[in-house]
């Protein structure tokens, strides 16, 4: 058979298999040696582009699922309203002693609410005229505040948190918070309590209504008299809502898709460049850059499996509750404690698989020893991950 006869035959075979690149995307996962041998013979860039188009909606679904598992505490009221100087606001503080808005000792905003007494064993502060709050699990499920007390004898107090109901201070819920403030002498304690639980005492029994909480009180008592001060800041009712319900979640999804697409293209481009440099340095390979770019792209078939598995993992991982004003280090601690290890193991397996496929691709691109192909594959994957991460952090 002459060369003229072979070329039409090859073209006819190509016409019969116009979608072979789709088959390669999946075959490379379970039969990489044979599949990369076929890809090297007739590279097709449509395969890696299809991988990108497949992964983007999977990323979108995974991000949405994770958004339903992260719960952010939403404060009511916002902007630390109740412990700022009231101006024209309707709420009011009634203390036993003199109430002041302290602009020199506070945690959030510009003020804290302070009350002081001389030679007393009891000090209290009450916030009223706040409207009506439904303190159920479906509505306001938490109460958060910062509290600081000072006793000249440095004696720990008995402390009670009160929630008044129906605009009547004789109708209230009480909770012992003594253990929570025991170590907060002259130090701000950050406290969050759950509402509508059995640990609260109802006064009178069965009369106050959780659906109509109209005031908040703090009462500290000692066995002997001393000069006393109590300060309150960052006071709000909080409800944990899924991040997916926030108005900004759509923008977060759009940004995630954009970032993921750019990251895919960056890693693919950098990986191809590093493999090219390695082949030029360690062998006499003299193929075309375009073909190398197309071949290397099929390594990212593993990202389809990885992202699907990751989305399924999000479904079974426990929810994460993020308190209001959480710091980045606190967030990392929560994330690592709940999600960090399984996601780390899965990601490590993904990149390990990618290294194996890159090794096979290098082996099929040129006659290399397995050890040399592995060194090129390992180094190329690591370098592409490192450089793409740096570039993304700088520009996105």
Domain ranges of the chain: 19-71+245-395, 75-242
Average of per-residue pLDDT across 366-386: 90
Q: What is the largest CA-CA distance in the chain?
A: 112
Where do we find the tokens 């990489």? 32
- Of 85-89, 91-95, 141-145, 313-317, give the range with the top mean pLDDT: 313-317
The model carries a pTM of 0.75
- pLDDT attached to residue 375: 92
**Is 90 exceeded by the pLDDT of residue 18?**
no
Instruction: Summarize the confidence of residues 340-367 as an average pLDDT.
Output: 92
Choose the most confident range, by mean pLDDT, from 3-7, 245-249, 315-319: 315-319
pLDDT beyond 50 at 9 = no
* More confidently predicted of 395 and 353: 353
Write out pLDDT tens, residues 159-208: 999 999 887 778 889 999 998 888 767 889 989 898 877 688 888 877 77
**pLDDT interval class at 96 (50, 70, 90):** low
Q: What pLDDT shows up at residue 3?
A: 46
User: Is 60 in contact with 307 (CB distance < 8 Å)?
Assistant: no
Q: How confident is the model at residue 6 (pLDDT cuts 50, 70, 90)?
A: very low
Give 62-80 pLDDT, tens digit per residue.
Answer: 999 999 999 888 888 888 8
- Of all residues in the chain, the percent with pLDDT exceeding 90 is 51
CATH architecture of 75-242: Sandwich (2.60)
pLDDT tens digits, 116-155? 888 899 999 999 888 888 887 667 888 999 999 998 888 8
Nearest-angstrom CA–CA distance, 238 and 77: 9
- The residues, any chain, with a CB within 8 Å of residue 80's CB and separated by 6 or more, are 108, 109, 233, 234, 235, 236
| β-bridge mates for residue 95, sequence order | 125
Q: What is the pLDDT of residue 59?
A: 95
Query: If you count them, how many residues does the chain have?
Result: 396
Contact by Cβ (8 Å): 354, 302? yes
Dist CA 294 CA 54 (whole Å): 17
Residue 396 is predicted with a pLDDT of 66
Is 371's pLDDT higher than 60? yes
pLDDT at residue 97 greater than cutoff 80: no
Q: Tell me the pLDDT of the chain averaged across its residues.
A: 87
Phi, psi of 220 (to 5 degrees): -120, 135
Tell me the pLDDT band of 26, cut-offs 50, 70 and 90. very high
What is the per-residue pLDDT for 166? 82
Q: What percent of the chain has pLDDT over 70?
A: 92
Q: Exposed (0-12), middle (13-18) or buried (19+): which is 161, by Cβ within 10 Å?
A: buried
């Amino acid at each position: 058979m002459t060369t003229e006869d072979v070329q039409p035959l090859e073209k006819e075979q190509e016409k019969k298999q116009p979608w072979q690149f789709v088959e390669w995307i999946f075959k490379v996962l379970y039969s990489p040696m044979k599949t990369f041998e076929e890809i090297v013979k007739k590279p097709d860039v449509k395969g890696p582009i299809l991988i990108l188009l497949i992964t983007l909606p999977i990323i979108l679904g995974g991000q949405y699922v994770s958004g339903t598992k992260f719960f952010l505490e939403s404060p009511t009221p916002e902007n630390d309203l109740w412990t700022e100087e009231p101006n024209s606001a309707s709420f009011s503080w009634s203390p036993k002693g003199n109430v002041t808005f302290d602009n020199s000792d506070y945690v959030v905003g510009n003020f804290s609410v302070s009350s002081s007494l001389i030679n007393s064993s009891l000090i209290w502060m009450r916030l009223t005229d706040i409207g009506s709050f439904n303190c159920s699990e479906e509505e306001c499920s938490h109460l958060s505040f910062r509290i600081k007390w000072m006793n000249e004898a440095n004696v720990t107090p008995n402390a009670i948190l009160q929630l008044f109901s129906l605009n009547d201070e004789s109708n209230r819920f009480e909770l012992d918070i003594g253990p929570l403030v025991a170590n907060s002498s002259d130090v701000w304690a950050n406290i969050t309590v759950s509402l509508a639980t059995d640990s609260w005492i109802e006064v009178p029994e069965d009369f106050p209504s959780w659906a109509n909480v109209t005031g908040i009180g703090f009462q500290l008592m000692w066995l002997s008299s001393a000069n006393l001060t109590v300060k309150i800041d960052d006071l709000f009712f909080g409800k944990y809502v899924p991040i997916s319900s926030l108005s900004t979640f759509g923008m977060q999804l759009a940004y995630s898709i954009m970032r993921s697409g750019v990251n895919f293209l960056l890693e693919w481009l950098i990986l191809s460049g590093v493999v090219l440099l390695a082949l030029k340095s360690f062998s006499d390979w003299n193929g075309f850059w375009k073909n190398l770019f197309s071949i290397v792209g099929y390594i990212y078939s593993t990202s389809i499996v990885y992202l699907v598995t990751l989305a399924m993992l999000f479904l079974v991982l426990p929810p994460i509750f993020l308190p209001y004003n959480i710091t980045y280090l606190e967030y990392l601690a929560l994330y690592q404690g709940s999600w960090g290890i399984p996601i780390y193991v899965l990601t490590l397996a993904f990149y390990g698989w990618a290294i194996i496929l890159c090794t096979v691709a290098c082996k099929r691109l040129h006659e290399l020893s397995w050890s040399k192909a592995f060194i090129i594959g390992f180094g190329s994957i690591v370098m592409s991950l490192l450089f793409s991460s740096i570039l993304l952090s700088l520009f996105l």
